[in-house]
Each structure stands twice: as structure tokens, then as C-alpha cells.
Structure 1
Amino acid sequence: MIDIWLTMSILRDDVGNVTGVASTERDLTERSMSNAYLRERAEQLAQADHRKNEFLAVLGHELRNPLAALVSATTLLRSAASDDARKSWATGVIERQGRALMLLVNDMLDLTRITTGNIELNRQTVLLKTVVQSAIEVCQPIVDERRHSLSVSLPAEPVLLYVDATRLSQVIENIVINAAKFTAFGGSIRLSATTTAHRLLLSIKDNGRGIAPAMLGTLFEMFVQGPASGGRRNNGLGVGLSVVKRLVELHGGSVRAISDGVTGSEFIIDLPLDAAPKAAKDILVESAPSGADLPKRILIVDDNVDAAEALAILLTMQGHEVETRADGASGMAAVTTYSPDIILLDIGLPDMDGYEVARQLRESGASEGMTLIAVTGYGSPADRIRSAEAGFDHHLTKPVEADELIRLLAG
């Protein structure tokens, strides 16, 4: 079928008699195709806008839920009528909900990095077993909470990967946590890995409610969530799987989902095995912090008084000697009077930023022999580069995991 614009005109002679007909034809096929494309594009934009609005509504809900639990738990802790058992329960609530908030913030930050193309990989040679263990540690609480069984099957021989261990662990975490959320209590989740030629295949399979076949084509798009089940809405922001897809692609791999919509789901991650061989001592493995390290003199410089005091109490409990300051000027003065071994320095200080503090300390020589650690909410690759240029030895993003900080101090 061809779309044509046809114009016909009657031809007359000088006295008005009809002598013929003239016609003009214009092929409108390309215009029709263009209009169809524009309509399709408009529909896509409208759908994307609808998803964005749904995302903002979900975000408000997801933020209020943990905040409500945190406020209630704090009230319970302050109550004189609370016994030790209730206070212990409230402490657990604060820890769990704090982690939930941290995951939400991380999802939003990853969303921003994906849309701006600013996700970068910090590749290292690492054992597959190390990455999987790290992911399981994060997922285990929700797996236990929902009484699932989680089995792991890895190749008998060590498998070396040249990857960003943190990001690949995040990929596994997102998929396993989704499997735990969308599988009824008491379900089973299986994580297995096989190697073929120069490829690694990671499979994460559950016996949950499955994914509707119609959704498989859009599953990895931004803000997409499955339909609610049992009258209850889904938790989460709907960005996790889009982050998974982007991170896997940055590693040169692919990810796909398989499901009949009834008997569970399987996610298959296909990655290249292109790890550059390294000496055994250079391979990234998990190591437990040493208990024999000597106490350190630590200076915390942070204008968030609560955060500084909480961190100081934690480090004091580890046997360290700690002092705190709330701005850059007093922090620099304390370097001379207190002579710390380690400085935990916030970036967003009220008088001068942490970059300038670090730069002045390094240039003056006042911090000779001291370790400078940035502890900040700024965590992009550009922020890390800027902190290194200013003279920081390490860069930690808030909220800092206690085990990670203790490991760093032990080193």
C-alpha cells in the first residue's frame, strides 16, 4: 500500500471549453512513516513520564517506611518503661532500617550515574568465590527473614576474574534480593556458576511466582516493576535491574531473564573470563581484621556532631584514642596539638572544604607520617580522584561500614 497525495485540475481553452485534466501526484510514504514514528515516540515518552511519576510516588513511600520505623524505635529506646529485650529489638530495627535507607540512596545515586554515563569500573583480579561471598553477606538477612534456603554451587577450581569486585557483587545482590522478595516464605534460591571456554555463566534461580512473559522485554528498563501480588505493592524503586544490566554490559557481558510466569525465574549473567594473571599475593581476597593491632590516635573532623560522636564512640570501643573537631580550622590546629596517627576528614566542612584542609596539611608538612582518610557523602569517581590529588590516602563514602573502617585502620 502506497500513500499518495493526488491533485487534479480541469484544463480549459480561451473560451472556457474543457480540454483536459491535469494531475499532480506526491508520494507521502516517507511522511506517513515519519508521522508513525513520531506517534510511537510520543507514546514512549508518555509512558516514560508515567513511570517517572510512579517512581517519585514510590520513592516517597519507600523513604517514609524506614523513617517511621526509625522514629518509633528511637522513642522506644528513650522510654524508661522499655526493658532490655525491647531495647535490643529497637536496636535491631534501627540497624535494619538504616541499611534499607542506605540501599535506597545507593539506588538513586546509581540511577543518576547511569543516566549521565558516569559509572566507572575499578577493575582488579579477584576470585569469583570472594565476590560471591561478599554478595551473600549482604543478602543473607532478607533470605533468613523470609525463611528461604539459599544454595551456592561454584566450580571446584578457583576462578579468576578481572572485574570491579564491588560492582559485580552489587549485580548478584540485586538479583538475589529480588528473588528473596518475590518468592513466598520458605522458598528456595540457587546460585550456580559454570565456566565454558573463556566465558563465565552465573545463574540465579528461584521457585517464586515468576515473571509474566509479556514483561521480559522491558524488565531491565528504568522504573519497571512487576504487578503487585496478593493486593500488596512491590517494595523498591524499580531501578535495580536497569543498574544490573548496565554494570554487566560495562564488564563486557550480558544478562537475561527466563520465566514462564508460573514456576519461578532464572537470571543468567554471561561474563568474559579475561582476568590478567597476577601473583597470589596480589589477588583480592577477603581478610579478617587483625585483633593484635596497636591502638591509634585518631582525629575526626566533621561538622555533623552526631555522626562524629557516634564514630568516636565506636573507635574508642575498639581501643583507639579519639578526638573530634567540627570545622577545618580547628581540625588543622588539632593536628599540631594532638598529633594524630590518622585523620578522618569530612569534605563538606563549613569554613573550608576537606580538600583544602588536606592540601594545606600536606603542603605544610604538618601531616607528615599521618594517614588522611576522606569520610564523606561525595562518592563519585571524580570525587575520589579529587581527594587523591588533594593528598588523601583513602576515600570512604558515608555511611561507612564499621568493618570496612576497622580493616582500613588495622592496615
Structure 2
Amino acid sequence: MSNSSIVVCGTGIAGLACALGLARAGFSATLLGPRQVPAARPSDDYHPRVYAISQASRDLLDSLGAWRLMDFNRVSPVESMEIYGDAQGHINLSAWQDVREALAWIVESSELERALQQAVQVLGIPWREDHFVGLDTNAAGVQVHTRQTGTIQAQLLVGADGARSPVRQAAGIHHDYTPYGDMGVVAHLDLQYPHQQRACQWFTGDSVFALLPLPDTAKGPQASLVWSMPQGQAQAWMAQDEPAQQAFLATHAQAITGGRLGKLALRSRPQGFPLTFERTAMVAPGVALVGDAAHRVHPLAGQGLNLGLGDVRTLVQVLLARGPHRLPGDVQVLACYRRRRAEPVLAMSLATHGLHRLFGSGWAPLAWVRNQGMQMADQIPFIKRRLIQAAAGE
């Protein structure tokens, strides 16, 4: 049996960031999970999954030493955003309205993982390439059992192991799960007109159609499509052959966007994932959850990863402030972490869940109210600044 102050189970973005944050704060941290090195991609080939990184998340990644390791030729700033309701509602947000460089930065999942893995290697953080199989708590913290290499005695186990978190299940942490009945479909598109670093989002009643700016390719401007739609419709579209998929996109995109960016064409095959609303208690004796293991929200605001990186930032802060007489896995320390995350997680959950329900209702008076509300918000600079600051994680 080996020893480590803190074991971080999960080697995706949240787990890598958590291990880096803990190590830079002076804790002895060990990563537990498979090491999957992202494959190098040709200049015009982009990973299908991208994230909108907020200012707060960028600041965290910079403090971890990962942001400077990014290939900025593959990062696209979002300088403005257009949000359309299902009638005449419209909000236009620009970074200059709050004197900012950008509203967010669009980053590929693989590029972010590559930079984080490189930062982990630079710091020499131990990485046990094994699988978590169970845990036992004791007076010293928690014994972490692995499939191949035995047991690790730790003061704290951090579950950063995704939405189906084995750590969460083993620790018996309560988990609420509500399926939306929708899927999020992602793909990259060729655009007829330049996006000018502008993100666009349309609420159509039964779907949310979003275009996120990406760097230009040899063929011209491109964007990442994130389209949440009823599950049956999504599955039918993804099952079609390429010409039928292109035709489906062309017809629906024209109707939704009104040709805002001209003709849209698929650069990659659509890929989908089910959309769920999930909440947990976040902690148990000797165990803390971060990222998708702790919560999942609707992607219409693009804040899922930012919420997870906020978990990492808060957990490190709480552990640093715990006092010398308490271990990292102390129940009072973990209760403090849970309290600190309760408000931002609840606020984001209510916002995304509420917007989904608001725009999913076909009741005519409600449709009028939501679109009039957007029109009014677009005329009030203070509200627009607050929306920008909320998107930045402030």
C-alpha cells in the first residue's frame, strides 16, 4: 500500500486541472486513471467537442501553467454574441460593452487536454495508470482500491471521473438524475460568410441552435455547431447518409438562421450525446466531487466545463484555508466546500433549466413575455453588462 495526501480519480480536463491546482498549492497529489494522449491533428482538422472558456476559467488555466501551452492558432476568441428568441426577441452582447478583450474563448477538448497533460508532466505529478474499483474510509482518510496495483492510502479522494462517476457510487453520494429527452448534436460547419468572432444562438421552441466561431480553414470560415434537439429527431439525422445529412442541415439551418451566415455545410459527421440535469451532494467523508461527477447542466449556456473548473478553484481555496489541525478529508472542511459551491451551482442549474423550460413552452402568452423580455434587456446597458459578467464567471 502506497501513500498520497490527495488522490484525484479521473484524468480528463477536470481531473488534470484539479491535480495541477493541488500540486501548485503545495499538496501531494496523485492522478489515478488511464493516460490517453490526444492525437495530433492536421491544421484544418478540429476535435468535434469544443468548449467556451470563460474569463474566470482562463485565469485559472493560466495560474496552472496550462493556458500558455495552448496552440493559439487553434483558439478562437468570442468578441460578440447574438441571441435570438423564437419570435422577435433578440439580445446582442459585445466584449466592448464591458471593456473586455473577449466574452469567451472557443477551445478544442483535445487541445485543452494536451496542454494540461504537458503542465502535469512539467510539475512531475505522479500518475497511476490504473482503474478505481472501490474505497474504504478510516481514521487517516480513505483507502483507494485499484484494479491492478493495489491500494493507496489518502487523506482525500477527489472524484473527477465523469457523469457516471464510480467514485460517487462507491462513496454513496446522493445523485438526482433528470433526462431532458433531448440530445446535444455537435459538428463543424463551413460557413459562406465570415463569423467575425461572433457566436450566435437561436431558441426555436423545441431546439437550441448555436454556432461558435472557430479559426478559418483553407476552405474559408468555419464554426462549431451545438444543436440540442428532440432525441428522436437527432438520432434520425445522425443515422442518415452524408448527402441526406447535408440536405437536412441546409433546410433547417436556413429556416432557423434566416441565412445569417449564408449557406452552412457539414465539415464532419454529426455526433450526439443525451442531455440531462444532474445534481449531487458533492461530498462524503474523505471524498469530494468536481466537474460532471458533481453536476451536469443543459449546454444552452455553454457553462458546464466552466462550472467544473469553478469546483476546482474553490476546492483548492478551501483546502488551503482549512487550518493546520484539520486533514483535507475532514467532514467540516468538505462541508465548507459544499456550501461554497452551492450558490453558483444552483444559480447555473436554475438558469439553464429555467431557460430550457421557458423556451420549450408553446403557450402563446409566455412566448410573448420571453421575447419582449429579450427586447427590453437588449435596450438596457446595465443588464447587458451583468449578463457579460455572469458569462465571465464573475
The structure that is strand-richer by fraction is 2
Shorter-chain TM-score range: under 0.3
Higher relative contact order (CA 8 A, sep 6+): 2
Larger helix proportion of the pair: 1
The TM-score with structure 1 as length reference comes to 0.20
Which structure has the larger Rg over C-alpha atoms? Answer: 1
